[in-house]
Amino acid sequence: MSEAKDPQDTCVLVTGGAGFIGSHTVVELLQDGYKVVVVDDLSNASERVIDRIKTIVGDAAAARLTFYRTDVNDREAMSAVFDGDHIDRVIHFAGFKAVGESVSKPIEYYANNLGNTLTLVDVMRNHGCKDIIFSSSATVYGDPDSLPLTEESPKKPATNPYGWTKWMIEQVLTDLHTADPAWNVVLLRYFNPIGAHPSGLMGEDPKGIPNNLLPYVAQVAIGKRACVHVFGNDYDTPDGTGVRDYIHVCDLATGHAAALNWMNGRTGVEIFNLGTGRGTSVLEIIKAFSLACGKDLPYQIDPRRPGDVDANYADCSKAKREMGWVAKYDIGDMCRDSWNWQSKNPNGYEG
Ligand code: UD1
């Protein structure tokens, strides 16, 4: 059963807590008074993130943070984590997330993302912990019939194995609750997370050539890449370029805190969109980032990228109504914080 508790009496396990969204969420939870256990195998993150988290939150809150360098697939190690700390709730971020790579490595993606979730929920069950927030994605809506997307909008076939893993894990967690109604499942469907911590100490640190728009634009701004490649200008959108609902990573972090608070003492399966409700085109992003970094960023129009949709943006009224959560940062803030992070850390966490 989900037991209602105050943050200071609640221990939250955050898998993938050293990653981009995970690290910002851990900061938010520590600042809210939670005890936090981070499990991350650092396969796509740096241990330096843990130090940065501690710097941001200060010594008193940092004392409530425990970090284990552990793969969530490692059942014995995960059992030991649950044996060592009384875990009340879990936020599950850990997973592979590169769309293109998932197409060439489907076995690895299904094995890791589905496998680690199954291991996690089994270990949770064995330890009487049945409260989980899952890091899902607007990718489950596929090519939308109508906008904005509400939580009732139909799920559509994914266009890549990464998307399918999000799709399938949502189903796994839903089935878990059907089998045992004591489970308390929250599926958070993120739109496009960008930005960075306003301190400039944490941000997105992609390895190699960035797949996503914002990190690519930031690398053009810092001079690492020559120009932005705009994937198509013949979409059915006002300026012909793709439109997405970009959301500041710190707003996503408060969304997780709101969900933890909301799920306190409940059971069930609930879905929330986390976005801003506003669509922004690729050209608008380039313009906003140019303003933030103080120079015009060069770009060229390239062919469409397979699998991309014209536009998507969220209806976030459910999160507001139910959890009292709204995104407060706008595109200008997101580009400013992203540039602040990129300019202070040109090589990410590697210094
Ligand atoms: C992508 C994934 C989505 C995943 C999300 C995670 C696809 C099809 N979707 O979303 O499943 O949950 O990342 O953050 O890959 N663009 C350019 N030039 C670039 C990169 C992107 O013009 O160099 C355009 C794209 O065509 C799109 C927009 O920018 O219109 C955003 O792209 P991106 O940042 O990759 O996010 P999504 O594709 O929306």
Q: What is the pLDDT of residues 117-160, one digit of tens each?
A: 999 999 999 999 999 999 999 999 999 999 999 999 999 999 99
Phi, psi of 197 (to 5 degrees): -65, 135
Average pLDDT, the chain: 97
Percent of the chain at pLDDT above 90? Answer: 97
Query: Does 5 score more than 90 pLDDT?
Result: no
Contact 337, 289 (CB under 8 A): no
Average pLDDT over residues 210-237: 97
| Position in ligand 1 atom list of the atom nearest CA 193 | 14
Q: Write the single-letter amino acid at 88.
A: D
Structure tokens at 130: 């049945």
**Ligand 1 interacting residues, C-beta cut-off 6 A:** 99, 137, 139, 163, 192, 211-213, 216, 229-231, 242, 244, 282, 305, 307-308
The residue whose CA is least distant from atom 26 of ligand 1 is 231
**CB-based burial of residue 147 (10 Å sphere; 0-12 exposed, 13-18 middle, 19+ buried)?**
middle
Residues shown for the chain: 351
| Position in ligand 1 atom list of the atom nearest CA 302 | 22
Query: Does 37 score more than 80 pLDDT?
Result: yes
pLDDT tens profile 48-79:
999 999 999 999 999 999 999 999 999 999 99
Average pLDDT over residues 32-37: 98
pLDDT given for residue 74 in this prediction:
98
d(Cα 20, Cα 95) in Å, to the nearest integer? 12
Average pLDDT over residues 33-37: 98
pLDDT given for residue 2 in this prediction:
62
Average pLDDT over residues 296-325: 97
Q: Catalytic residue among 162, 190, 313, 329, which? A: 162
Ligand 1, from 192, 229, 233, 283: best to mutate by most atoms within 8 Å of Cβ? 192
Contact 271, 151 (CB under 8 A): yes
d(Cα 12, Cα 29) in Å, to the nearest integer? 9
Find the radius of gyration of the CA atoms of the chain.
19
299 tagged catalytic: no
Phi, psi of 67 (to 5 degrees): -120, 130
Contact 79, 125 (CB under 8 A): no
Contact 185, 267 (CB under 8 A): no
